[in-house]
Amino acid sequence: MVRWGLWIGTISGIVLGVYMWFVELATGKLVYTLLMNVDFIPVIGDIEWPAFIEFLFHMIVSWIIGILFVFTLKHWLEDTNKNQWLLSIVLTAIASTTYVPLTILAIKETPALTDGVAILYWLIGHVLYAVTLKRSYKRFW
């Protein structure tokens, strides 16, 4: 169960990270920077981490979501197609709300709270994450 949670968390986290990276590259909107940002976290925020370590921090969160997704479907909810979609949407909706606190807490430059285009890219990325989470679960479980 943990292995499959790690697997679907890996796939979903990579999809989200690559999407945000391409959006930032193509538009200049700092959504990937926001996704990877840890500069506000005591102790670890004081270190200038290489890009792959920042991505690892992102993946740790995605792995937790993947494990929680599988665990919930195996122990708390009936494992139906409807519940898989519902759970992927709920978990991802919660994750997508991090735009506000991450933006407020960030020390480095990130998109503004009022940047509707950046928020739209952020939300699209998280919808993509939800779809990938559900579809990878269905494919590999």
Give tens-digit pLDDT for 86-120.
999 999 999 999 999 999 999 999 999 999 999 99
Mean pLDDT of all residues in 25-50: 94
- Does position 139 have pLDDT exceeding 80, yes or no? no
Q: State yes or no: pLDDT of 141 exceeds 90.
A: no
Instruction: Give CA separation, 75 vs 5, 70, 71, 98, 102, in Å.
Output: 13, 9, 6, 27, 31
pLDDT of residue 77: 96
In which band, very low, low, confident or very high, does the pLDDT at 1 lie, cut at 50, 70 and 90? confident
Instruction: Give the model's confidence band at 138: pLDDT under 50 very low, under 70 low, under 90 confident, else very high.
Output: confident
Per the CB < 8 A criterion, the answer to whether 111 and 103 are in contact is yes
Sign of CA dihedral 128, 23, 60, 13: positive
Tokens of 128: 């993509």
Rounded-to-integer distance, Cα 67 and Cα 70, Å: 5
Domain ranges of the chain: 2-140
Q: What is the pTM for the complete model shown?
A: 0.94
Mean pLDDT of the chain: 95
* Residue 10 in this model has a pLDDT that exceeds 70: yes
Contact 35, 46 (CB under 8 A): no
**pLDDT-above-70 percentage for the chain:** 99
DSSP 40: T
What is the mean pLDDT of the segment spanning 8-21?
98
Place of tokens 């740790």: 60
The amino acid that residue 85 corresponds to is W
> pLDDT value at position 91?
97
| Residue 140: pLDDT over 70 | no
